[in-house]
Amino acid sequence: METQTPCSDYLETKGLVYFARMLDKIRLHAQGRLAPGYFVGVEDPTFFDARCTRFLGVNYDELVERTLQGGSDEEILEWCFARGRRPSEEEILIWNAFLSKRGWRDEASADLKAAKKRSGLGDRDDIQTWLDLHDVEEGRTPRR
């Protein structure tokens, strides 16, 4: 079966970045179409999936079950709001800023540098965040 890359972390669902990518990874993984090497789940609390489900106050395994039942990303996010919590506009702004800058001048910078090197992208100064790296590895141009 042919693998597929998930959508960009930057794709927003009701203003929230990353959520669509997490659902995309869940669906692709369940279909056996997610390429090896993608982090799926919450085994490591620093994985974006773990951070996102904690931010929304939902259980990851229950989110997987709900996602595989079908529905749009917006419907599933509303389910999360009902099951967990509905972040305020300000909390979403802070979440989006945190995620979009992760790896840039923070405690994740060294890990990002090592990941860039492993991917053969160590010389790419335009890759400054984890989201940039995901986009470049998946054939998209990093945002400025």
- Contact residues for 38 (Cβ-Cβ < 8 A; gap 6+): 6, 25, 29
pLDDT digits (tens, 9 = 90+) for 84-134: 999 999 999 999 999 999 999 999 999 999 999 999 999 999 999 999 999
Assess whether 66 and 110 both reside in one domain.
no
Q: Domain count of the chain?
A: 2
Assess whether 123 and 93 both reside in one domain.
no
pLDDT confidence of residue 58: 98
- Contact residues for 67 (Cβ-Cβ < 8 A; gap 6+): 23, 26, 27, 76
Assess whether 41 and 78 both reside in one domain.
yes
In a domain, 65, yes or no: yes
- Contact residues for 132 (Cβ-Cβ < 8 A; gap 6+): 103, 126, 142, 143
What is the C-alpha to C-alpha distance for residues 139 and 130, in angstroms, rounded to an integer? 14
Assess whether 73 and 109 both reside in one domain.
no
**pLDDT higher than threshold 80 for residue 82:** yes
Assess whether 109 and 94 both reside in one domain.
no
**pLDDT higher than threshold 90 for residue 1:** no
Domain membership of residue 123 as a residue range: 103-139
Assess whether 83 and 127 both reside in one domain.
no
Confidence category of residue 143, pLDDT binned at 50, 70, 90: confident
Q: What is the pTM of this model?
A: 0.94
Assess whether 112 and 44 both reside in one domain.
no
In a domain, 50, yes or no: yes
